[in-house]
A and B are shown apart, each in its own frame.
Chain A
């Protein structure tokens, strides 16, 4: 028997945790547990009180969309990849702490996207920037492939000792996209402009803990991307 403890409520409400009991096999995920709880005709806490349906986000259910990122026993994880076999009999679920809370386990991670818009992370129009296949050949291509595999779950920002969401440091998710665009950019002057932004919004704030790389569910080699960006910065001087 598992005891599932879930932080409930909306911003501004008093913090409260509800406890639920559940029988489950070792090979199921936390996401399965949440789905089963909400399937109950009446959702009752362990002390018999009626509870509202639990809110969380999920979509692909196979670690490819990042929607179900949450804190599981205080560790940032994807619920669809957190198997009960790897957890204790008491499982505490909480929303990620560095993003605005929406309700229960749902947080608003829009900042991941808006920072990339603010930093102009796109390739310029093809007329100005003839995309050269040379950048995409096998070796570099594999690294760029990894970079474009980012699922924007936000786990890297959650574990980052420097990211607060309230200052100029945008964290690894930004750096990862920045790395890709900088590598695909043809014009040296454009690249120079971009590297300046990298310095302001990443390099100056990163203390190289590499907690981001360790937690990344997509296995993106973030430290490699940082070193590639550094090398590019030197070449662009």
Chain B
């Protein structure tokens, strides 16, 4: 028996664990990768809070309004209010842990402009806030680990939830170093990140694949806003992934352009005015897509992000990570040349539905961070994901601590009973023939990428849904003859293929959500319904 199980050890998971410990409660952090490898370490730009260090008359209310407006009124207003009102406390919390922020000459935490916000509200740490926040949280976690309050189970893959009627009672996990199954009993906080596994080529990490969200969906937990996928306007493409060029590059003065009739055309500035490069991400992404694909007669070949006019020292210090990524993966120095960019999948505003206290629709399960849907509505502001992860982790942990009593037992390996047979049955139920698991996952990603692009329409979505139904049917058929499990020990590929099957059902729900929203709002743009329609001013929820 565990007190509180936290799945995922990025910013949301670590924040939840610290909150549990501060409430005097023991928590176990279960994660495939250690926190220093979590996707959170990639977060580049910053973390928002109305500290008013830019001396531009900022306030929590303005932060709230900007978040609400960027989300096109699809976020939870009360939750947004709580988030933005508490943002300065979150920064104080991080500062107390020893997180290193960039500072002004006066020693105050420096703040910069970020997309969709009219005030200098984004606290930053050069161009890698995520790594700095994770390092600070880890320091505190070591303390609680030493005291036996937090237990860390790295290299443990989440398999499934254990349910008793309509309550989550724990999880099953697989130690991929020892090849052993574990059962952990207790209430669960999901802090497992986005759904990159459905798409493959994203800016995120491999292990933030959405398999926990998919398992929650199969268990009957409510999903919300699944169709809301943020395409970051400025990514660079390599053969293994899309790499993010942080919004900080535009916050520091970077300009987007293409060539038209041989001359530089700053189309964002022409279309949206003087702050056109810093419009919300959905707007810039669509603008770039329009320039690249909209005019079939004369499409632009490439869109560029230009930093060459900025001071060399500014690029070296404030945008050091951006420069390093370009040098390593493109062989290009942004001090001397503009960066070729394309929009790429970056963040999932949708996921597990939660209320203001981070309850999911199922008792015993809470969610925080990118895996849940609440604050960001139809479009997330840069700098709000790190904030939502810290604050959400804290809220989920507080709720869980209040609602589940203390368990008077130390962490004890013996208490975690093995139950191979039951897990094998679960795996078998959805499993795909392991021999072709990698190709099968690729096929799923191809279907999802083609259906859920920046510009959507009925035809593409329906085609995707048909392909996906055929995909599910074909793989369930294969499963009937699958003999990979039987009496053999469970292998990593068995779990991988099981997760692919679970993800395919989640993908189906995602495309259905996109079909149901017959309007354009935020990140969801439909060519056949190009206008916002107030009839749809509420999250689309999906429950299996």
Q: Which residues of A contact B (CB under 8 A)?
A: 25, 27-29, 31-32, 35, 38-39, 41, 53, 55, 57-67, 80-81, 102, 106, 108, 110, 113, 116-117, 120-123, 126, 131, 133-134, 136-138, 141-142, 144-145, 148-152, 180-181, 184
Contact = CB atoms under 8 A, between A and B. Distances in A.
Contacts of B125: 145
A137 B107 contact: yes
Nearest to B93: A126
Nearest to B128: A149
Interface string B134-168: 01100110110110000010110000000000000
A174 B458 CA distance: 56
A136 B33 contact: no
Interface stretch (B36-44, B389-397, B410-418, B448-456): B36-44
Given A133-B103, A149-B128, A62 B33 contact: no
B75 to A, nearest CB: 28
Contact of B34 (A38, A39, A61, A113): A113
- Give the interface centre of A55, A62, A133, A136 by most chain B CB atoms within 10 Å: A62
A141 B100 contact: yes
Interface in B65-104: 95-103
Interface residues of B, number: 55
B103 A152 contact: no
Contacts of A184: 98
Contact of A122 (B39, B140, B442): B140
Contacts of B155: 108
Contact of B131 (A25, A57, A59, A64): A64
7 residue pairs, one from A and one from B, having the closest CB atoms: A148-B135, A65-B37, A126-B96, A122-B143, A122-B139, A59-B205, A59-B37
Interface of B: 33-34, 36-39, 41-42, 95-103, 105, 107-108, 125-126, 128, 131-132, 135-136, 139-140, 142-143, 145-146, 152, 154-155, 177, 205-207, 239-241, 243, 317, 325, 328-329, 435-436, 438-439, 442, 492-493
B527 to A, nearest CB: 33
Contacts of A136: 100-101, 103, 107
Query: Which of B100, B239, B328, B436 lies at the interface centre, i.e. has the most chain A CB atoms within 10 A of its CB?
Result: B100
A145 B132 contact: yes
Contacts of A61: 205-206, 240-241
A232 to B, nearest CB: 16
Contacts of B328: 63, 81
7 contacts: A28-B240, A53-B438, A59-B206, A60-B39, A123-B97, A137-B107, A149-B131
Given A29-B240, A59-B205, 9 more contacts: A32-B240, A60-B39, A60-B41, A62-B241, A66-B37, A106-B177, A108-B177, A141-B100, A149-B128
A41 B436 contact: yes
Contacts of A121: 139, 142
B350 to A, nearest CB: 23
